[in-house]
Every structure is written in C-alpha cells, then in structure tokens.
C-alpha cells in the first residue's frame, strides 16, 4: 500500500508541475501495476480515466485482468554425470611425443617471425655468444635459402664450425627444429 501511496503522490506532483505526457503515462502504468498486485483492488473496473489539469485531454488506460497464478520455479536442466573414462584404446593411439612432434613440424614462412622472444634471447646467448647481429645475419641468410639441404649445409659449415655448437645440446636441437619447420 505504501508503494501505491508513493505513486499517487508522484503522479500528483507531476500533474502540478505540468510534466510531460510520457512521464505521466509511465507513472500511471506503474500505479496501475501496483494496484493490480494488491488484493484490495481486484474487484475494480478495468477502465480508468486520468484527467490532466487544464481540461485539454483525457487519457484512458485499460487495465488487463491478470489471472492469479502460483510462482513458477525456473527449470534447471539436469546434466548427467559421466563416470566412464576414455577407453584405453584411444589413449594408446595418441601419445604426448607424437602430438608434440606433429605440432612442432608446423611450417614457418619466416624464420624471424617464427622465433619467439624468449627463444631469440636464448639462441643469441647460447649459440651466438651474445652477438645479436650475428644472429640476425644467420636468420636472414637461412630465410634466403630455397631448400632445407642448402640451409643445413650452410649451418653446418658456418655456424656449427665457427661457434663450436654441440649437436647434443637442447638449444641446438631447438634451433635445428625451427630451421626444419621453415622448409617444411
């Protein structure tokens, strides 16, 4: 009932201040909605007229009869819990190493763009003795080759010999893999 009284007061204030028609209609609709929620006003007629001061217009609002209904609980879908695991046959067909190899052999169009920042600094520090210009020159030269065999020969005769790379070193293997991906 307090809500109805507040809306009546608001409507009266809006009428006294000659508020816009859309504001008056909005407040009237809110008032009608609040009235339809209370049990005291369920037996009122469905037509309500609102007189705007000045006698210019009469607005008629039709209040629809709302059937009473029980509150409806929202339906929550039931998701079955799967307790079975993936069959061992599927797990046996794909191993981590196979997946790593397949992902590691994705082609790279440009070796410079294909080397991440961390790898670049690691290659410069470990393979090129901290000389970033030598690294840039090597990458540019490798990118210029047309086939993997040419790049591999150049790396072996120039980079491995000059910088004394250990072929079993993980950093050397990572560099070789990137070069291989460049020509894949």
Q: Give the integer Cα–Cα distance in Å for 179 and 142.
A: 8
Can you give the pLDDT at residue 106?
Answer: 76
The b/e string for 49-88 (b: 16+ C-beta within 10 A; e otherwise) is: ebeeeeeeeeeeeebeeeeeeeeeeeeeeeeeeeeeeeee
H or E segment and range at residue 97: helix 96-104
CA–CA separation, 92 vs 86, rounded Å? 11
Is the pLDDT at 137 greater than 90? The verdict is yes
Q: For position 133, what pLDDT does the model report?
A: 94
pLDDT digits (tens, 9 = 90+) for 16-64: 888 888 888 888 888 777 777 655 545 555 555 556 565 555 555 555 5
In this prediction, residue 21 carries a pLDDT of: 84
Average pLDDT, the chain: 77
111 exposure class (CB count in 10 Å sphere: 0-12, 13-18, 19+): buried
142 pLDDT band, cuts 50/70/90, is very high
pLDDT per residue as tens digits for the range 75-110? 666 666 655 555 555 555 556 666 566 666 678 888
154 pLDDT band (50/70/90 cuts)?
very high
**Both structure tokens of 127:** 């393979």
The average pLDDT across 151-164 equals: 89
Which pLDDT belongs to residue 141?
A: 94
* Residue 121, pLDDT above cutoff 90: yes
CB of 7 within 8 A of CB of 50? no
**Residue 122 pLDDT greater than 90, yes or no:** yes
In the chain the beta strands, taken as DSSP E runs, fall at 47-51, 58-62
CB 54 within 8 A of CB 17: no
């Amino acid at each position: 009932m307090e809500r109805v009284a507040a809306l009546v007061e608001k409507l009266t204030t809006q009428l006294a201040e000659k508020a816009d028609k859309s504001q008056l209609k909005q407040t009237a609709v809110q008032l009608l909605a609040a009235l339809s929620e209370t049990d005291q006003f369920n037996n009122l007629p469905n037509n309500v007229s609102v007189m705007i001061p000045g006698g210019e217009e009469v607005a008629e609002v039709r209040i629809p009869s709302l059937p009473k209904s029980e509150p409806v609980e929202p339906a929550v879908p039931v998701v079955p819990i799967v307790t079975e695991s993936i069959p061992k046959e599927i797990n046996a067909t794909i191993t981590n190493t196979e997946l790593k190899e397949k992902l590691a052999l994705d082609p790279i169009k440009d070796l410079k763009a294909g080397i991440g920042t961390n790898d670049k600094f690691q290659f410069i520090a470990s393979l090129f003795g901290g000389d970033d210009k030598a690294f840039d020159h090597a990458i540019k030269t490798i990118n210029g080759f047309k086939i993997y065999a040419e790049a591999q020969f150049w790396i072996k005769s120039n980079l491995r010999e000059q910088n004394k790379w250990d072929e079993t070193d993980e950093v050397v293997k990572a560099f070789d893999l990137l070069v291989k991906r460049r020509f894949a």
